[in-house]
Amino acid sequence: MSSKESNLKEKFKQALESTARVISDDLKIKENPKQNKSSKKFDFFEIDNLTTKSDFIKFRAETDSNALKKKFSNDEIYKKNLPQNNSCKSLYNIAEKIRYETLGGKMLKGIEKNFTENYQQIVNLKRKDQLKTKDDVPVVEAFELYMLKNFHKIKLNSLTSKMLAFWETEFDQSISKHIKFLKENLENQNKYGSKFSEILEQMDIFESEDNEETKEENPDEGQDNPSNDEEQSDSEDKKDQNKDEETEASLDSDYNIDEFKMDEQLVDTDSDKESSEQVIQKKILNNINLEYKIFTTEFDEVIKAENLENADESKKLRKTLDQQLIGFQDVITKLANKLQRQLLAKQNRAWEFDLEEGLLDSSKLPRIIIDPYNSLSFKKEKDLEFKDTVVTLLIDNSGSMRGRPITIAAICADILSRTLERCSVKVEILGFTTKNWKGGQSRESWNKNSKPKTPGRLNDLRHIIYKGADTHWRQAKSNIGLMLKEGLLKENIDGEAISWAFNRLKKRKEERKILMVISDGAPVDDSTLSVNSGDFLEKHLKKMVKFIEEKTEVEILAIGIGHDVSRYYDRAIKITDVNELGDVMVSQLSSLFDTKTKLH
């Protein structure tokens, strides 16, 4: 970054900090919340990550939103009116956010303009190419569009209008008659929140879930929306960290190596003998999985991509992907040259020089011509011991990735696969989603079994192998295009997908193993989250990533498609637009591979 750009960004940040202090009536706001224990935290994300105009628009709007939340939203009132039904809670969060943002827009025209530009940008960037039924549009996404249309007066385009159309009649039946009351009571959080809570709990679309409610409301539960205070999440992270440390301490004190070796449940049947380190890793992983419940794995599947569609359709989808790849051919060569110097891929050829026998070293002939008494110099080829490397690309195949994001992910997979193969690095491409919306057969089984409380993960997993590590890119190129298959993308349960990919990777013989996750944000499965705690999937994801980062030799990296995923992964980059994909991959991906994660 040039000094001029740095200065401009610094001035921009200072201006927003000042604005936030004025809007929120909190003069103690600082860039680093940890330096300000006396006041609520304020969320400033890294300004250095802002690269496009859309990033700046989003940053400005989110800063205003956070400041307005501090000014207008009381957490005690919020908790008092929070609906009991988990599905209602997510809609209630959106309604409260819209309330204080609307108040801010009435207070200052500049704030209203910031929100309008940001939400208009979000609406225009939505890509849902296949919209056939209501199941293709999550209720939360439709509800946000409904609120933006009716409170922020955001103009929907044809695509988002179609998304809202699946749900708008039901929303209108429950909400439209109360809109006047809600708008008149924007400044009275208690009246507004109480009324919205009542409306949501009486909506027909949630009636079937009222009897499924299993989670008792936590009296300390705060707002769980994009502009939420981070104090609660930080405390949870600390609890998770303490719990992990306690687990590790108990392993050190309560077990010895001999006891580990005698635990038959931990012995890998594929090997006769394991190192104590491997056994300890399995013990920690088992502890993580014990805390994560799964109702049933009966309906889960691991499937090869070629079995998802017939050959003709695969070729058609591959052709569509090839059209998107035009213009990226030069990137492959540039990236290969950069990565080849950094990846410890296996290379077998090198030379020993200044030997008394072997092949004549022609580079030393001039010294013979200058002085005939100099002896001839010879060279000999030798073997070098370089570590083999294998890379697994794990790609989020969820519904929110539909359209442009999944196209970007497929392009990433295609370019990386060819590039890394040029460096003699084996590449595996995997995808993860669910077989159904709304829980599928797992949910049906749960209903038939008297709906036990907090059942854990409640959907049918679908894990897809697009390309095996030992399969050449040319043999699997049609499979990569299948990511664009209509109807494939559903829910995303990241933690289990990472565990699956990790277990495949650790069985490989290569010495250096890299797991790269391509995703667009947090794990989401409506069926699971409706009957478990709101952070059930997210906590498992964080623990799985932390385990891999700190306790194994597998290096885990992440590429965020349109979203910053650095809150889950220590090493992450963000891609916001397919047009900047080439530059981002060349300039940043190579640096991710540059240094190896060490065991802590």
- pLDDT at res. 96: 93
CB 191 within 8 A of CB 185: yes
Give pLDDT tens digits for 550-561. Answer: 888 898 988 888
pLDDT confidence tier of residue 575, bands split at 50, 70 and 90: confident
**175 pLDDT above the threshold of 60:** yes
**329 pLDDT above the threshold of 70:** no
Q: Which of 382, 401, 436 is the last residue of a domain?
A: 382
The answer to the question of residue 365 being in a domain is yes
Are 407 and 367 found together in one domain? no
**Stretch among 130-144, 255-269, 351-365 having the lowest mean pLDDT:** 255-269
- Name the region of 471 (left: φ>0; alpha: ψ -120 to 50; beta: rest): beta
Give pLDDT tens digits for 221-248. Answer: 445 443 344 444 444 444 444 444 444 3
pLDDT confidence tier of residue 499, bands split at 50, 70 and 90: very high
Are 237 and 129 found together in one domain? no
**580 pLDDT above the threshold of 90:** no
Q: How far is CA 136 from CA 75, 149, 318, 396, 399, in A?
A: 33, 20, 23, 17, 8
User: For 291-299, what is the mean pLDDT?
Assistant: 87
- pLDDT at res. 249: 39
Q: Which amino acid is at 158?
A: S
Q: Give the number of domains in the chain.
A: 4
Are 378 and 393 found together in one domain? no
Q: Which of 574, 579, 580, 578 is nearest to 592 (CA)?
A: 574
The answer to the question of residue 296 being in a domain is no
Are 274 and 368 found together in one domain? no
Strand pairing of 389-396 and 426-434?
parallel
Are 254 and 328 found together in one domain? no
pLDDT confidence tier of residue 593, bands split at 50, 70 and 90: low
Dist. CA 47–CA 9, nearest whole Å: 7
For the record, the structure tokens of 10 come out as 């610094």
Q: In CATH, what number is assigned to the domain containing residue 408?
A: 3.40.50.410
The answer to the question of residue 600 being in a domain is no
The answer to the question of residue 221 being in a domain is no
User: For 307-333, what is the mean pLDDT?
Assistant: 79
Give pLDDT tens digits for 381-433. Answer: 665 445 578 889 999 998 888 887 888 888 878 888 887 787 778 899 999 99
CB 97 within 8 A of CB 193: no
- pLDDT at res. 5: 65
Dist. CA 437–CA 136, nearest whole Å: 8
User: For 210-219, what is the mean pLDDT?
Assistant: 42
For the record, the structure tokens of 43 come out as 């969320």
Q: Which amino acid is at 211?
A: N
**Stretch among 152-156, 374-378, 415-419 having the lowest mean pLDDT:** 374-378
For the chain, percent of residues with pLDDT exceeding 70: 66
**365 pLDDT above the threshold of 50:** yes
How far is Cα of residue 418 from the mean position of the Cα atoms in its chain?
24
The answer to the question of residue 216 being in a domain is no
**Stretch among 9-18, 345-354, 404-413 having the lowest mean pLDDT:** 345-354
Q: Which of 179, 210, 241 is the last residue of a domain?
A: 210
Are 441 and 471 found together in one domain? yes
- pLDDT at res. 119: 83
Q: What is the mean pLDDT of the chain?
A: 75
The answer to the question of residue 360 being in a domain is yes
pLDDT confidence tier of residue 288, bands split at 50, 70 and 90: low
Give pLDDT tens digits for 438-462. Answer: 899 999 999 998 898 889 999 999 9
Are 406 and 372 found together in one domain? no
- pLDDT at res. 300: 92
Are 314 and 261 found together in one domain? no
User: For 13-39, what is the mean pLDDT?
Assistant: 61
What does pTM read for this prediction?
A: 0.50
pLDDT confidence tier of residue 57, bands split at 50, 70 and 90: confident
The answer to the question of residue 57 being in a domain is yes
Give pLDDT tens digits for 107-119. Answer: 888 888 888 888 8
Are 371 and 273 found together in one domain? no
The answer to the question of residue 219 being in a domain is no
Q: What is the number of alpha carbons within 13 Å of residue 171 lying toward its C-beta?
A: 21
Are 33 and 90 found together in one domain? yes
Q: Which residue has the higher pLDDT, 246 or 50?
A: 50
- pLDDT at res. 29: 55
Q: Among the ranges 333-342, 344-353, 403-412, which has the highest mean pLDDT value?
A: 403-412
Are 179 and 268 found together in one domain? no
Range of the domain at 470: 301-340+386-592
pLDDT confidence tier of residue 195, bands split at 50, 70 and 90: very high
Are 363 and 458 found together in one domain? no
User: For 8-30, what is the mean pLDDT?
Assistant: 70
